[in-house]
Amino acid sequence: MTDLEAFKTKSDVAVSWLSLIGVGAAVLFGISEYQESASKRIDDAQRTTLEFISRYNQEGVLQARSDVQRSIDTLGEALSKKLAGVTSLEAINEIVSRHYREQTSAQLRSDESYQDALLVVRFFDELFVCVDTGLCERNSAERFFTDEAYQYHLVMQAEIERIQLTRPRFGLGLEQMRVSSSTLE
């Protein structure tokens, strides 16, 4: 083997090794970029969830929630009177269910908190779209919002169902966030 052939062989080996090192570096760079991108998406989703939490506690939604809560408290007081002396769990469940289904729609529509109740439902609808599309981080949103979603859905279910007769998607976010509470246990 001549010096030229030896040099060519060594060059071919070196080029092969450099090619492998280049491919390996490209793979590592790609993996690093993917991890950084995934991490950023998670951070963005968490940030968006925190923005919803902040919005939930800002004056407009907070006032709406307060007004709705006042209506709920009024319904609760009336319900307490109906439950006085009732001892059967089955009877209590029936009274509670009937009371909320019959009284809530009428109560909400008769006082100033009706528009506030609609605002709260729309908030949960928007939140669920954010969660469902992955723009909000699901676990954080569920942990923060499901208890209240459950309460609001309980007292507003009849009114939501009434509105859904003409607007079928109304309140679905509230329903889905309420259902999420059962998956957190």
Which tens digits make up the pLDDT trace of 53-66? 999 999 889 888 88
Q: Is the pLDDT of residue 99 over 80?
A: no
Side-chain-facing half-sphere of 4: CA atoms under 13 Å:
0
Amino acid at 104: T
Q: Answer whether residue 73 is part of any domain.
A: yes
Q: Answer whether residue 17 is part of any domain.
A: no
Range of the domain at 163: 43-183
pLDDT for res 1? 61
Residue that wins the pLDDT comparison between 27 and 132: 132
**Which range has the worst mean pLDDT, 91-95, 117-121, 141-145, 161-165?**
91-95
Q: Answer whether residue 36 is part of any domain.
A: no
Q: Answer whether residue 20 is part of any domain.
A: no
Q: Answer whether residue 131 is part of any domain.
A: yes
Query: Whole-model pTM?
Result: 0.67
Number of folded domains in the chain?
Answer: 1
Average pLDDT over residues 129-156: 90
Band (pLDDT 50/70/90 cuts) for residue 43 is confident
Average pLDDT over residues 92-110: 73
